[in-house]
């Protein structure tokens, strides 16, 4: 059979007619010719078997009483072949069939009977039903195997992509680690010559023999200030790279305690209102890094404000996605314009002049983001200038059964 997958309504099927009397074969042929199917004639059971081996047959029409191999015997042989176990058989019987005979036929998997004299309309109707059934079954089988092929193809493609993704992920992880190691070494090694430059400046200032004029002294002091700033940047880089390098062990962490510790670090002045929704729950994480996260976010909330009574609220809610908790740190401060909301997570990015709002290096949020992502979470911000800011981030909740530990 061709492997055409479309539903071909008019595809002809093969009908094998078996009878030892050529005249009868001819009359069946005449009756069935208008169905437009392929009619194959066989004059004996043996010839029929020969045809069956050569062609794919939808229906066998056979005389029950034939010399040598009668219809029932032929049917039995046909049924033994796995390929023909479901092939429809119509028996034509000249003799009156007792119920016992019918039973014998059905045991062989026969599908229908027609008695002689054959009524042409009846024979045509029966044959046409079986031919149609065969055609539809075949079409269905083909569609099915086409579907299976497509599913297999897609699955293979999907597996290929998953493998590729895993490979890229590993490569990314190792290149991230390399970058962290490089940043650490570079910033560490740069600190020493920087210290030497600052020290040399100090020698120049203290060397009375040089008798520097005021302008030269100012310049040397400028060099020293720049060295100090640069040292600050290098420290920030060291701190940033340390998060990626450190083997931060993750345990079940009580966030009520973490937030308590971070508030002690920030030490908000008395006019500040800090509201914490308790309990904040248990998560998987590194308590030191998570303390750093809350200290940074609360610290920023109190720093970037023009309110007489700055307010910070820490809250939690269960995410729709299983096992995640969404934490929020909300303030009533100056807010962040939408166009800056991505940039604030970049290293050394500040939205204000160097010393405005108590100064800063623009590293805090970069570190917060890195810590959250290393915890498998995500961080984002919602804010409007003048309307305060809320930072949200996700963490993985620790399983309940362990919580009493």
Interacting residues toward ligand ADP by CB under 6 A:
296, 300-301, 304, 331, 333-334, 336, 344, 349-352, 360-366, 389
Residue 195 CB, nearest approach to ligand ADP (Å): 23
- DSSP annotation of 334: S
Interior angle at CA 180, CA 300 and CA 329, nearest 5: 20
Q: Which is nearer to ligand ADP, 139 or 328 (CB)?
A: 328
Q: Is the Cβ–Cβ distance between 335 and 388 less than 8 Å?
A: yes
Residue 390 CB, nearest approach to ligand ADP (Å): 9
Q: Which is nearer to ligand ADP, 48 or 381 (CB)?
A: 381
What's the rounded Cα separation, in Å, for the pair 178 and 140? 56
Residue 395 CB, nearest approach to ligand ADP (Å): 19
Q: Which is nearer to ligand ADP, 40 or 363 (CB)?
A: 363
Q: Is the Cβ–Cβ distance between 109 and 75 less than 8 Å?
A: yes
Residue number of the CB closest to ligand ADP reads 360
Q: Which is nearer to ligand ADP, 93 or 332 (CB)?
A: 332
Residue 355 CB, nearest approach to ligand ADP (Å): 11
Residue 352 CB, nearest approach to ligand ADP (Å): 5
Q: Which is nearer to ligand ADP, 172 or 387 (CB)?
A: 387
Q: Is the Cβ–Cβ distance between 123 and 31 less than 8 Å?
A: yes
Q: What are phi and psi of 189, to 5 degrees?
A: -70, -25
Q: Which is nearer to ligand ADP, 286 or 383 (CB)?
A: 383
Q: Is the Cβ–Cβ distance between 85 and 50 less than 8 Å?
A: no
Q: Alpha helix locations (H) across 246-350?
A: 255-266, 287-303
Residue 309 CB, nearest approach to ligand ADP (Å): 16
Q: Which is nearer to ligand ADP, 135 or 330 (CB)?
A: 330
Q: Which is nearer to ligand ADP, 4 or 384 (CB)?
A: 384
Burial of 99 (0-12, 13-18, 19+ CB in 10 A): exposed
Q: Which is nearer to ligand ADP, 207 or 342 (CB)?
A: 342
Residue 311 CB, nearest approach to ligand ADP (Å): 12
Residue 344 CB, nearest approach to ligand ADP (Å): 4
Residue 359 CB, nearest approach to ligand ADP (Å): 8
Q: What are phi and psi of 245, to 5 degrees?
A: -90, -35
Instruction: With H, G, I as helix, E, B as strand and everything else as coil, classify residue 68.
Output: coil
Report CA-CA distances (Å) from 19 to 13, 65, 98, 198, 395.
Answer: 20, 9, 21, 114, 80
- DSSP annotation of 342: T
Residue 174 CB, nearest approach to ligand ADP (Å): 27
- DSSP annotation of 397: B
What's the rounded Cα separation, in Å, for the pair 57 and 38? 10
Q: Is the Cβ–Cβ distance between 188 and 240 less than 8 Å?
A: no
Q: State how far Cα 228 lies from the chain centre.
A: 48
Q: Which is nearer to ligand ADP, 59 or 263 (CB)?
A: 263
What's the rounded Cα separation, in Å, for the pair 15 and 29? 10
What's the rounded Cα separation, in Å, for the pair 272 and 311? 6
């Amino acid at each position: 059979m061709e492997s055409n997958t479309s539903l071909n309504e008019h595809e002809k099927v093969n009908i094998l007619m078996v009878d030892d009397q050529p005249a009868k074969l001819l009359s069946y042929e005449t009756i069935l010719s208008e169905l437009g199917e392929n009619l194959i004639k066989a004059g004996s059971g043996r010839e029929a078997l020969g045809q069956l081996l050569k062609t794919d047959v939808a229906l066998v029409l056979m005389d029950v009483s034939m010399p040598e191999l009668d219809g029932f015997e032929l049917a039995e042989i046909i049924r033994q072949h796995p390929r023909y176990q479901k092939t429809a058989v119509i028996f034509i019987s000249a003799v009156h069939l007792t119920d016992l005979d019918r039973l014998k036929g059905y045991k062989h998997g026969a599908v229908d009977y027609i008695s002689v004299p054959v009524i042409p309309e009846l024979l045509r109707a029966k044959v046409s039903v079986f031919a149609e059934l065969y055609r539809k079954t075949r079409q269905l089988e083909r569609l099915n195997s086409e579907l299976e092929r497509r599913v297999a193809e897609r699955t293979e493609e999907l597996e290929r992509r998953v493998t590729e993704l895993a490979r890229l992920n590993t490569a990314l992880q190792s290149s991230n680690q390399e970058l962290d190691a490089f940043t650490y070494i570079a910033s560490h090694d740069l600190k020493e010559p920087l210290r030497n430059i600052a020290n040399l400046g100090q020698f120049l200032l203290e060397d009375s023999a040089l008798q520097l004029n005021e302008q030269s002294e100012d310049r040397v002091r400028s060099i020293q200030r720049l060295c100090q700033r640069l040292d600050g940047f290098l420290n920030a880089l060291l701190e940033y790279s340390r998060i990626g390098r450190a083997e931060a062990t993750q345990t079940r962490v009580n966030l009520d305690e973490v937030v308590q510790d971070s508030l002690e670090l920030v030490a908000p002045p008395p006019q500040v209102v800090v509201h914490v929704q308790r309990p904040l729950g248990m998560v998987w994480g590194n308590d030191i890094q998570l303390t750093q996260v809350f200290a940074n976010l609360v610290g920023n909330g109190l720093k970037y404000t023009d309110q007489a009574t700055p307010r910070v609220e820490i809250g939690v809610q269960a995410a729709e996605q299983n096992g995640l908790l969404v934490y929020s740190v909300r303030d009533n401060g100056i807010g962040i314009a939408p166009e800056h909301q991505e940039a604030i997570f970049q290293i050394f990015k500040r939205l204000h002049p160097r010393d405005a709002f108590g100064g800063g290096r623009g590293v805090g949020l970069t570190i917060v983001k890195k810590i959250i992502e290393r915890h498998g979470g995500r961080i984002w911000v919602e804010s409007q200038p003048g309307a305060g800011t809320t930072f949200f981030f996700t963490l993985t909740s620790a399983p309940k059964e362990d919580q009493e530990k």
